[in-house]
A and B are shown apart, each in its own frame.
Chain A
Amino acid sequence: MRTYISFSAKAFSKQLAYRSEVWLRLLGNFVTILIQAEIWRAVIGHGHVEGITVEQMITYSIINTLLMSLLLHGISGKVDESLKSGSIASELIKPISYPLFLLFDELGNTIYQLLFTVFPTFIIALFFFGMVPPASLTHFLVFLIALLIALIISFLIGYLISLLAFWFMNHFALSWMLRGFITIFSGTFLPIWFFPSSWVTVANLLPFQYMGYIPAAIYLGSIPVQELFMIIVAGGGWIVGLLILVQLLWTRAVRRLVVQGG
């Protein structure tokens, strides 16, 4: 375990080396929140649409923008690179679990983002835009669990993409395609409660809503208490499913690597 934590620490301090970027990143997040806040002000104004006020929508945008900085999306590029360059072989002979190494490496990055991007952005956003408090204590606690699920799912999807790329096509193409789906179905910008019903059905069949819509909706209390349990269980189900899929592809990929001799 200590070995893995040291990977996180390494990734953390690597990020730290990029000094001036911290300020730019904060500015970038501020811009994103500002754009969305202005859009919601333009269409909702002082009233509310389907019971949603502009304050709630701004909170929704802030949560989603912050969550985006935390998600473990860097992984797919990393695996792809080591598979293609063959350096994967040297990763595999180390007495560590490669997926865990990746996870902790990414977590180091996430912790960095939490401290240097998310926390300051949160303060700035609170000051400039204001946020509504969580709907209830229960909602807040479940929100924290949902955040964890978001992190894990983003990691697994990234991992899956990089493994798929190993067989089918270039990782670049898959990532772009994935981006298209995430833009729509994570609900990061447009919450799923504003979707037409047929689109809601599709969104519910995909795991992407856990990476944006669900945590924010829980925080705002748009999902009633009695449904929370099922939502979390379903999230856990997605994790297990993805985990099995990833494990399966991973063993195949390694076997293929061994056969090809790297």
Chain B
Amino acid sequence: MSIISVDGLTRTYRQYRRFPGVMGSIRSLFTREYTEETAVRELTFSIQEGEAVGYLGPNGAGKSTMIKMMSGILVPSSGELHVLGQVPHQARKENSMQIGVVFGQRSQLWWDLPVKDSFDLHKYIYKIPDATFEKNLTFCLEMLAIKDFIEKPVRQLSLGQRMRVEIAMALLHDPKILFLDEPTIGLDVMAKDQIRQFLRTVNREKKVTIVLTTHDMKDIEEICPRMIVVNKGELVYDGSVAKLREKLGNERQVVIEFREEPGIIDVQGVTLLQEEGLRKTFLFTRNESSVFELVSQIAAKHYVEDVSIEHTDIESVIRRLYQQLAANQ
């Protein structure tokens, strides 16, 4: 049975209108116009127990809204949503005992008090038995190297240290699902690595289901075998990272620098994407012929100074996906 099931889920917002300028402000004294924005539109997917899912999309795609609905903070406008077999906002308190939520940019810690105090309060609020608390605390302290600063007030911690503490705290009550909203935002490479490793362990060994939103594709690559991509509230891809790569991998972006203006390039399977003087970016669709073949076809007709073939790391795969989405609109 799936631990999270989403069926035709929609969430709309009312956005009150503000008018620019001095006259505009006077105008807004008298009116209260608003527009209806759809943050999440007719979304359907399900997540099985023990999965690690990357939830991504460009800014304003409705990622946070989705996390908030799944954690019971927001109520959907329409559609079905079940987390652990319950409707999250109806069973908010009950569900909150079984989920952990980390907001990357919103701390839940007591700023002026030692980390330990926040943990203790958490233990109390979530009614965590001593043994469980000790076990989880030891696990997190070791894995995330929190021990060194557990007595320090939170305000003295670095951003990376603080994020480690936030994640540890979200796991103290043995949640079945862990939601993370941009957990690595603003962190340096080392700190990111540490968090990714930890999350992977939590998922693989403790079998905690993970759903995370991010802008960093490395997070996905290292933690999540599956990804869900949304754009403007709609689902655009749901499947494994490898599949997406395959799907888009048929296309390659190639940058060619010419010695002189080549004029119109007329080669089957090559489309011009962008040009900056003599430096031109092409999209190669390799159905029959390989990239190399196409390049040599061009090189045979024109003076080519330099060629670079873009790597198909996940980052560029996603970029291609977004570009495709933008082009389709």
Cα A22 to Cα B25 with chains together (Å): 12
Q: Which residue of A lies closest to B30 (CB)?
A: A19
* B contact residues around A19 at 8 Å (CB): 25, 28-30
- Proximity bits, B250-290, A CB within 8 Å = 1, else 0: 00000000000000000000000000000000000000000
- Are the CB atoms of A16 and B18 closer together than 8 Å? no
- Are the CB atoms of B18 and A17 closer together than 8 Å? yes
- Are the CB atoms of B22 and A17 closer together than 8 Å? no
Cα A201 to Cα B154 with chains together (Å): 51
- Proximity bits, A1-26, B CB within 8 Å = 1, else 0: 00000000100110011011010000
* CB of B113 within 8 Å of the partner chain: no
Q: Which of B18, B22, B25 has the most CB of A within 10 A?
A: B25
Q: Which residue of A lies closest to B32 (CB)?
A: A19
Cα A13 to Cα B25 with chains together (Å): 7
Instruction: Report the interface size class on chain B.
Output: under 10
- Are the CB atoms of A12 and B22 closer together than 8 Å? yes
Cα A66 to Cα B219 with chains together (Å): 58
- Are the CB atoms of B21 and A13 closer together than 8 Å? yes
Q: Which residue of B lies closest to A9 (CB)?
A: B22
Least distance between A23 CB and chain B CB atoms (Å):
9
Cα A19 to Cα B25 with chains together (Å): 8
Cα A12 to Cα B22 with chains together (Å): 8
Least distance between B31 CB and chain A CB atoms (Å):
9
- Are the CB atoms of B29 and A13 closer together than 8 Å? no
* A contact residues around B28 at 8 Å (CB): 16-17, 19
* A contact residues around B18 at 8 Å (CB): 17
Query: Which residues of B from 13 to 53 have beta carbons under 8 Å from A?
Result: 18, 21-22, 25-26, 28-30
* A contact residues around B25 at 8 Å (CB): 13, 16-17, 19
Least distance between B229 CB and chain A CB atoms (Å):
37
Q: Which residue of B lies closest to A14 (CB)?
A: B25
- Are the CB atoms of B29 and A22 closer together than 8 Å? yes
Q: Which of B18, B26, B29 has the most CB of A within 10 A?
A: B29
Q: Which residue of A lies closest to B29 (CB)?
A: A19
Query: Which residues of B from 133 to 190 have beta carbons under 8 Å from A?
Result: none
Q: Which residue of B lies closest to A21 (CB)?
A: B29
Cα A19 to Cα B30 with chains together (Å): 8
* A contact residues around B26 at 8 Å (CB): 16
* B contact residues around A13 at 8 Å (CB): 21-22, 25
Cα A22 to Cα B28 with chains together (Å): 12
Cα A122 to Cα B302 with chains together (Å): 81
* B contact residues around A20 at 8 Å (CB): 29
Listed by A's residue number, 19 A-B pairs whose Cβ atoms lie within 8 Å are A9-B22, A12-B22, A13-B21, A13-B22, A13-B25, A16-B22, A16-B25, A16-B26, A16-B28, A16-B29, A17-B18, A17-B25, A17-B28, A19-B25, A19-B28, A19-B29, A19-B30, A20-B29, A22-B29
Chain A residues packing against B (C-beta within 8 Å): 9, 12-13, 16-17, 19-20, 22
A sample of 8 more A-B contacts (CB under 8 A), given A13-B21, A19-B28, is A13-B22, A16-B22, A16-B25, A16-B26, A16-B29, A17-B18, A19-B29, A20-B29
**Nearest 3 CB-CB pairs, A to B?**
A16-B25, A19-B29, A13-B22
